[in-house]
Structure 1
Amino acid sequence: MANRMEINDSLFLKSISCPLKLYHAKKSTGLRKPYLPFKQRNKLQLRNAVALQYPNIKFTSDSVSDALLETQKWLKEDDVAICGAVIRENIFLTRIPILVKNGSEFTIVQIHGKLKKRIHQGEISVPVLSKTTAGYLVKAAYRMEVLRKVVRSSKLNVELFFPDKRYSARMPELMQQIPNTESENLIVSQNVKEELASLFTKMEATEATESVRLAIPDSVAHSFAAERSVRDVMKDLVSENWSDGSHFNVEVHQECSRCKFRKPESDEISDCWGEFFSGKNKTFPNEQVFELIGHGNQELIEAGKYFQEDVPLNQYSSSFEEVKRKNQPAITIQQRRELQFLSAHQKELPSAWVKPSRLGFESLSFPLHFIDFEAATYALPMQRGGGAYSPIYFQYSCHSLFENGEIVHHEWLDDKVDSGYPHVEFIRKLGAIDSIFEGSLIQYSPFESQALRYLLQEMERNSMLYENEIRILKNLLYVEGNTNEHRIFDLSKSVREGYYNRFMSGSIGLKQILKSVLQLVKYLNIPMDETAQIFDTSINFGMLSNDDADFDPYRLLQHPTYQIDDGEATMNAYISLKSNLLTPKEIQIIPTLMRRYCAMDSYALYIIYSHINKLINEFQDLNGVIIDQV
């Protein structure tokens, strides 16, 4: 194999899902995404929680080369459990979460986050029916194959650990009981060991892994690897000519939808669809069928239609007037899909299309409280009685708009390592916001109202103790606590049914709509409150442009090293914070980034609401803006 490439667990899995991924990986200099420190630390904490079940635990270094030498040294011992064991054979490398050696017998231990009940007497059944489980086993089979060649042992076992779906914590703050230093010995109480043993269910997977090793399931593999043995595929990976990808004759398949090479993020990443699927000949190469909203994408792929501009309009509306003449009460998903086709065919579209009757703004009353909550779900619960992945609501941001135009920001974050379970303080701080029990609460998606109902149910389990918190929650959810009159308004429903602009694509998520609104405002030269304070950072929204990653204000709130730009990053940062996995320097930086992110989310609601309200009240005569009264 020219220009030898090291193939690790991740790259092996990529190569069996589509051989072109390995071809592009060889070409791309920007293959690795920015390191996700918090998510990785949280995964290692779960690994450590399982490792407590084994004696003589050793921890390898972060450095792969150092870990390889450490693994070789420790495998000379008769009985050892190596966390992060690195095994290399030829170009193949694997890092095993826990490798247990007992004499001449070896056990590969993998920890997975999916909830599972103990079934089939604690053994993964053969044949493997679940696609997700098949993916776990392919990774185990690859590790088994590499390990077999190195240790020369036939006694190889595989064990998979999962959080038990039936688990209920008997102690509080379990996530904070796992040692955060990878020392030679993890010292925890016997009670914690027993608690963790009840949290995880162990599934014997040796036989199932062996069956996958001999025949990779087609549910997780491209035809290049399907039903072939892991050993034979590895031989091909060594001998194959990866300098030319055309001879694989790969067709577009469902896996393409999740592939980073389909729409490269930068010039350093190879462009698969540009090279192999005529993307370089297209007017809009990034407008692919996977970005279409609604149903029917798979049928288009099967018909060989990969780009939106390739789909003929004869089976859809051929103009915006045709779309509009369908006279639906709301803007439907099908109409949005047709508007995407029209855009790809460069047909004339309105700058904005609004149906005020579907917005529901007339039901709102001042002050308007634009709210955003952040939550964490983690296998290690914080509270007694909680199960794996019980939600923890740890942060909110609220921008309150008063009738005189004043906007006031309130926010709260559970940012102390030792502050304990945060729900009571979350409720009390939320209830202390000025005028929060007056006017309307505005969310984007049902998440916030669901959170308040979850908290209400939790507090009502001990209603005598939490009488005040119950009152706060009922008054947040309902007008004066009357369950017949809801206070929370879902702005996402207004957007979905009553608003469209020419810069919207296949998503109506908050960040995508915010970007499209900022683009439209600039395109139409509509005045807006250009500068706003987002927690501690001033952003000039009027200066945003395509140079700022497609009008993305979140980009301007980041730190050079750390990125907190979505809910997953925020969640993992919080879990690392509460588990005492952050450095002192990070403790100074990370909470600020979390506050900026949450504040931007609630301010985004204000921008979207204000923009739509201005269109229908002040700019409805603007050229290209259609206010549809149907």
Structure 2
Amino acid sequence: MKPLTKSRFKTALECPNKLFFTSKKEFANNKSDDPFMRALASGGFQVEELARLHYPNGVFIDTENFEYDKAFQLTQEALLLENVVIYEAAFQIDGLFIRTDIIVKNGNNIKLIEVKAKSFNPSDENIFVGSRGALVSSWKPYLFDLAFQKYVAQKTFPNLNFEVYLLMADKTKKATIDGLNQLFRIPNNGNPRTDIIKRVHSLEEIGSTVLSEINVDNIVNDIIRNKYKYYENLNFEEAISTFKKAYQEDVYLNWPTQFSSCKNCEFKATALQEEEGLKSGFKYCFSKQLNWTAKEFNKPNAMQIWNFRGKNLMEENRLLMEQLTENDLNIKPEAGRIAPSERQWIQVEKAVNVDTSFHAEKDELKQEMEKWVFPYHFIDFETSTVALPFTAGRKPYEQVAFQFSHHKYNEDGSIEHYSQYINNTAGEFPNFIFARALQTALGNDNGSVFKYATHENSIINAIIIQLEESNEVDKNELISFLKTISQSTSKQAETWEGDRNMIDLCRVVKNYYYNPYTKGSNSIKAVLPSSLNSSDFLKMKYSQPIGNINLTSHNFPSDHIWLQMQGDTVLNPYKILPPLFENWTEIEMEENLSDMENIADGGAALTAYAKLQFTDMTTKERDEITQGLLKYCELDTLAMVMIYEHFRNDVIN
């Protein structure tokens, strides 16, 4: 009989219907393919290893995931000791099974410790329970997970006293050594829980820790006693009983569909996945509950609308875009721009009418563009935040700016990949070097500077704070420069907006332009291929080698062609970035430490930078990953140039 484990319990809390799909290989599960999720998982394993140094000499319950009885038996044997630390202790009773990260037994008292790669500030009095007395939504899944663990453990051993703690990254602590992140290396192959490569075996070897413990036992007890509920119609024990029965009997719970959770469901199958034989849990639910057929699934629906919450539409079974009215979107026009609600309605109308032409507020966009000053500077940053800092003196999840790309668009129409910066030196904190390189790149004129979305401004604010706390001799000069191209965020003590405050091209898109090919997304990864598909100018220009079109590049040869077609559709340039290690021999590949295939998204870039922190990586492999990052980042700023050219040549003219 398969038990209800804590991971299945957490899945059921997200949506009880997911229990029916989660253990079936025939259903697509896109969460497992998410590069950001993989990067987060790696960080979690590293934090767990550091956590074990807090409680050394533990008994490790080394069993396979499915060896429930064996794991429990080994745990029982270890618990016979008066005092013991156990890693991955297993508890099971009445069809319920959990494995705990760490337990510390002293007589009959047990600390049950859950290790999380999340961060917290110990001075925050409302970390878990808000000022109005409700659980903070972002912590709710973790706290219910802990409640399930305590419930099962206490029920298994009623004679023992369990007290629950979280052990997490502490935002107030600083790493005391370089390379803390790399002391616990995730293997390319094997189980990251059992085969992780440790280079230290005591806290003394790293000086101090960046983790802190926090007691959450009272909150967990309140959850078990039903002071807090996940679903109003289920108390805690009812939820456990319901989920266990459904999972063990393989019953689809037919839990009412909800707009937000269904919109973000990981069990949606893409067309390609369905062609490969995978099923869609999303379609299964909608077929069962809303009687949708292939006809409805092939039509655009409200969950595809940008930033739309779909109040009452699920209950009314009125989710198709063709069933919506302007009243459903509560349209509120705004002078001089496309209001968010207007943008949603434009998306609906074009989708329903199969209209692939772009919409633009041409006059308003033209007025906006007339404010811009040549030469234009298009900037993109690549950054990293990790639980275990790469360098001494840094805190968990402190921003690290390791790369930028910079395209310069001159008034005569020539385009230069003007400058770039990357840090690929293991153990070096790059932010201040990054700021100096940025100053050199942008300090020679007063041209407009462009970003895409708010990330770059947030990073500049973070670097300003780091500089203020530093002893850098040129910190005042650097801060003054950074303030000219940014505006203050809420974290700053003072308020400013620079003379060359970066222009957000994403905001320009949202305010003045909608392209149906984006299907509502404003990501540059969607807007670029959409612009290419809609622009004869871009198609003609970028179907030629870059050496022929008045464009320079630091990372691509002059015969490189950016635009490739598949039938009548332009291929997304991000999908055709060259793979890593393309011409390497099998023997060379066997010696690789990075185990990467390509860099074509932000998650892969994060992972690549973390790999570059390996001090024992060969120069050849380091150079290969560096080149992959440089090419990826160059495309990000060239994408901004292309979007600008689309506006200039196709939209306002």
State whether TM-score is above 0.5.
Answer: yes
Q: 1:355 to 1:561 in 2, by over 3 A?
A: same
1:15 matches 2:12: yes
Following superposition, the deviation at residue 54 of structure 1 comes to: 1.0
Amino acid at match of 1:12: F
Residues 47-86 of structure 1 mapped to structure 2, 5 A cutoff: 47-57=48-58, 64=65, 73=74, 76-77=77-78, 78=81, 79-85=83-89
Query: Which is worse superposed, 62-71 or 129-138?
Result: 62-71
Aligned with 1:280 (options 289, 293, 316): 293
Aligned with 2:540 (options 527, 538, 542): 527
Aligned with 2:145 (options 116, 135, 139): 139
1:567 matches 2:602: yes
Query: Which is worse superposed, 168-177 or 8-17?
Result: 168-177
The residue aligned with 2:115 is: 111
How many Å separate the matches in 1 of 2:430 and 2:238? 50
1:605 matches 2:640: yes
Residues 290-329 of structure 1 mapped to structure 2, 5 A cutoff: 290-294=303-307, 297-312=310-325, 328-329=335-336
Amino acid at match of 1:556: I
The residue aligned with 1:556 is: 576
SS in 2 for 1:363: coil
1:446 matches 2:462: no
Kept in 2, the 8 Å contact 1:369–1:398? The answer is yes
Kept in 2, the 8 Å contact 1:427–1:469? The answer is no
SS in 2 for 1:389: coil
Following superposition, the deviation at residue 501 of structure 1 comes to: 2.5
Kept in 2, the 8 Å contact 1:437–1:476? The answer is no
Residues 240-259 of structure 1 mapped to structure 2, 5 A cutoff: 240-242=249-251, 245=252, 248=254, 250-259=256-265
Kept in 1, the 8 Å contact 2:91–2:97? The answer is yes
How many Å separate the matches in 2 of 1:94 and 1:458? 42
The residue aligned with 2:237 is: 228
User: What residue ranges of structure 1 are gaps of 5+ in the alignment?
Assistant: 318-322, 621-630
The residue aligned with 1:163 is: 169
Query: Which is worse superposed, 494-503 or 580-589?
Result: 580-589
How many Å separate the matches in 2 of 1:227 and 1:46? 30
Q: 1:563 to 1:18 in 2, by over 3 A?
A: farther
The residue aligned with 1:206 is: 217
Kept in 1, the 8 Å contact 2:407–2:418? The answer is yes
How many Å separate the matches in 2 of 1:45 and 1:595? 27
How many Å separate the matches in 2 of 1:75 and 1:583? 46
1:493 matches 2:507: yes
Following superposition, the deviation at residue 406 of structure 1 comes to: 3.6
How many Å separate the matches in 2 of 1:249 and 1:65? 28
Amino acid at match of 1:542: L
1:542 matches 2:563: yes
TM-score, normalization by structure 2: 0.76
SS in 2 for 1:132: coil
Kept in 2, the 8 Å contact 1:39–1:572? The answer is no
How many Å separate the matches in 2 of 1:294 and 1:127? 28
1:429 matches 2:437: yes
Kept in 2, the 8 Å contact 1:178–1:188? The answer is no
Following superposition, the deviation at residue 59 of structure 1 comes to: 5.4
Kept in 1, the 8 Å contact 2:84–2:106? The answer is yes
Q: 1:280 to 1:230 in 2, by over 3 A?
A: closer
The residue aligned with 2:193 is: none
How many Å separate the matches in 2 of 1:584 and 1:150? 53
Query: Which is worse superposed, 123-132 or 438-447?
Result: 123-132
How many Å separate the matches in 2 of 1:16 and 1:228? 13
Query: Which is worse superposed, 447-456 or 466-475?
Result: 466-475
Kept in 1, the 8 Å contact 2:376–2:449? The answer is yes
SS in 1 for 2:32: coil
Query: Which is worse superposed, 455-464 or 388-397?
Result: 455-464
How many Å separate the matches in 1 of 2:626 and 2:70? 37
Following superposition, the deviation at residue 258 of structure 1 comes to: 2.1
TM-score, normalization by structure 1: 0.78
Q: 1:424 to 1:400 in 2, by over 3 A?
A: same
SS in 2 for 1:19: coil
Q: 1:127 to 1:489 in 2, by over 3 A?
A: closer
How many Å separate the matches in 2 of 1:306 and 1:74? 50
User: What residue ranges of structure 2 are gaps of 5+ in the alignment?
Assistant: 187-195, 487-495, 547-552, 581-594
How many Å separate the matches in 1 of 2:3 and 2:475? 60
Q: 1:613 to 1:279 in 2, by over 3 A?
A: farther
CA offset digits 1:178-221 (Å, max 9, x no partner): 5548579943453845x32xx44422233433443464954x34
How many Å separate the matches in 1 of 2:618 and 2:87? 22
How many Å separate the matches in 2 of 1:546 and 1:81? 62
The residue aligned with 1:405 is: 414
1:417 matches 2:426: yes
Residues 480-519 of structure 1 mapped to structure 2, 5 A cutoff: 485-486=499-500, 488-519=502-533
Aligned with 2:378 (options 366, 370, 393): 370
Following superposition, the deviation at residue 439 of structure 1 comes to: 2.8
Q: Percent identity?
A: 20
How many Å separate the matches in 2 of 1:582 and 1:88? 43
Following superposition, the deviation at residue 329 of structure 1 comes to: 1.9
Amino acid at match of 2:246: L
CA offset digits 1:54-90 (Å, max 9, x no partner): 1313556695368986785476343443444566668
SS in 2 for 1:293: coil
How many Å separate the matches in 1 of 2:358 and 2:325? 23
The residue aligned with 2:189 is: none
SS in 2 for 1:408: strand
How many Å separate the matches in 2 of 1:452 and 1:174? 24
How many Å separate the matches in 2 of 1:188 and 1:436? 51
Kept in 2, the 8 Å contact 1:395–1:414? The answer is yes
Following superposition, the deviation at residue 513 of structure 1 comes to: 1.5
Aligned with 1:336 (options 340, 343, 362): 343
Amino acid at match of 1:489: I
Following superposition, the deviation at residue 605 of structure 1 comes to: 0.7
Amino acid at match of 2:564: M
How many Å separate the matches in 2 of 1:160 and 1:614? 56
The residue aligned with 1:628 is: none
How many Å separate the matches in 2 of 1:431 and 1:123? 41
CA offset digits 1:255-301 (Å, max 9, x no partner): 22321235657221424245233443545646332332355522434
CA offset digits 1:153-175 (Å, max 9, x no partner): 6433321123345x143736473
Q: 1:570 to 1:102 in 2, by over 3 A?
A: farther
How many Å separate the matches in 2 of 1:593 and 1:83? 39
